[in-house]
Structure 1
């Protein structure tokens, strides 16, 4: 397997490659949505969520919440005494359908710490007419931390899905972002009956002198246009896992540690490092497997390694099941 995490993705970076109560959201300020950007105004949003987290005393808390339509967050909880707040995103509709657009805006202010996950898997069903889409904008302040660990994305037969995540962070920020893509059930038992899955992550580093692109991670799988199961692509596997880490402590030694950590899993894994911008570096891990559970365990092992080493926290236990 290529160390650039398979040809099913492109990491456009000049750096080197290496081995509410009871479910209702509450707002701390008046629920006034921010103006839609021009790029988001082309069709109505089925769901919209805004969340801004700040430090209050020894804990991180929501300073602003807003939800509209088929997106919201459950009341916050704390998994340990670190002060990190955990929010669970919910889509009451249960699935993404054709032409659905979901908008998320997340800000973690200076020194705040947020763990963001989902209540269940994101399911994309048939999308006749147009693709389903999620656009997420994330901003991290000085010393802010975000762990974004959603449940798996399941693309069913004739589904087309696009996800664009734009992250802007400071050199002192810390980001860990995981994703698992799973093919949904098909009557004929085939794994790749969806039309398209496109995941695009843009990561920028903001300094007093301006903003620079750290990495552009673009994953595109289009089974109808060719065999995606062969060498140089999915290589006989049906499931894909991805972990993006951005932190000033990312280096070759960490990449080696994570590579060693993944060796005990039934998956094929590659790791890439981005260039360094203002003293911070990114790492992209890509794994292939035939099991959602195996990929979830692999990504959790890597995330837990970082939690212990960098933050003195125990393993992630979201208690959702």
Structure 2
């Protein structure tokens, strides 16, 4: 955790100098070798670390657990994660715990994720939830380059406020940008811009009606469209569903052109987590990371 003020400063509102902000950088590479996946190059800087626990190894996949030794991000901190699954490799990346974005004194927390999936490779990006504290200010970008025969799974949950403590997000900012390319061609672009009086914006019926948790699940794969009906059935939506959506959950799923996209909105983080696990199970393309059970 990084404080937003230096106690020795004479000014009551002076902030930590830029050179003292936390700047995390991480690069992870996975290689196929003898029917399994092994780690290739790994580069770490600042508070960013990755570990490959033996308990996470299942089948041919290599599971990496990302750690932030700073315990969270404050305004002005930054993180840049790059991951590459080389030809035929299967890399699973998750986080040790939910990532916390603390209140800011005005500066943005900047998070960048760059993913590359080469021919015949698989990359499952499945971090645990990112929790935004009230007055957090975040700018995040997720970019991915996927080969035509590659498979990319993105699971990104967000919780707005510390719901377990009764906190709601009233002020702050969230700028989120996703760009996915397949064989160099842009196939998916998404953006979210929330700022100012968030309590008023998030309270609208067409936005979040004061619910606190949301997630996007994106599958880029040659067979992605065939997964649509099982996912809709798992969520309780669509013509083949026998039960409706659970109380406190709204969901939608669509598929086109080798893409499956699922949107989730939940009253709280617990309900969101249950829905995500159900979807991953019924997708049949990934297992929940082992650390999720700890």
TM superposition score normalised by structure 2: 0.83
Structure-2 residue corresponding to 1:221: 194
- If asked which structure has higher relative contact order (CA below 8 Å, sep 6+), I would say 1
3-state DSSP class of the match of 1:260?
A: helix
Runs of 4+ that moved beyond 4 A: 313-316
- Tell whether the 8 Å contact from 1:114 to 1:147 is kept in structure 2 after alignment: yes
Structure-2 residue corresponding to 1:38: none
Q: 2:219 aligns with which of 245, 249, 252?
A: 245
Structure-2 residue corresponding to 1:168: 145
TM-aligned CA deviation for residue 85 of structure 1: 0.6
Unaligned runs of 5+ in 2: 1-19, 237-244
How far apart are the structure 1 equivalents of 2:281 and 2:290? 10
Structure-2 residue corresponding to 1:4: none
3-state DSSP class of the match of 1:295?
A: helix
- Tell whether the 8 Å contact from 2:57 to 2:63 is kept in structure 1 after alignment: no
> In 2 relative to 1, CA 283–96 (structure 1 residues): closer, same or farther, beyond 3 Å?
same
How many correspondences in the alignment?
Answer: 265
TM superposition score normalised by structure 1: 0.76
Deviation per CA, 1:145-204, whole angstroms, max 9, x where unpaired?
A: 111111111100110112101000011111111111112238x94522241122221000
How far apart are the structure 2 equivalents of 1:114 and 1:82? 11
How far apart are the structure 2 equivalents of 1:242 and 1:183? 14
RMSD of aligned Cα (Å): 2.4
TM-aligned CA deviation for residue 126 of structure 1: 1.3
Q: 1:270 aligns with which of 252, 257, 261?
A: 252
TM-aligned CA deviation for residue 44 of structure 1: 7.7
How far apart are the structure 1 equivalents of 2:260 and 2:38? 28
- Tell whether the 8 Å contact from 1:265 to 1:298 is kept in structure 2 after alignment: no
Deviation per CA, 1:199-232, whole angstroms, max 9, x where unpaired?
A: 22100011xxxx2101002233335164222221
How far apart are the structure 1 equivalents of 2:277 and 2:160? 20
Structure-1 residue corresponding to 2:123: 146
- Tell whether the 8 Å contact from 1:150 to 1:178 is kept in structure 2 after alignment: yes
Deviation per CA, 1:224-244, whole angstroms, max 9, x where unpaired?
A: 164222221113422112211
> In 2 relative to 1, CA 223–293 (structure 1 residues): closer, same or farther, beyond 3 Å?
farther
How far apart are the structure 2 equivalents of 1:132 and 1:119? 20
How far apart are the structure 1 equivalents of 2:93 and 2:171? 27
Structure-1 residue corresponding to 2:91: 114
How far apart are the structure 2 equivalents of 1:123 and 1:168? 27
Unaligned runs of 5+ in 1: 1-42
How far apart are the structure 2 equivalents of 1:227 and 1:192? 10
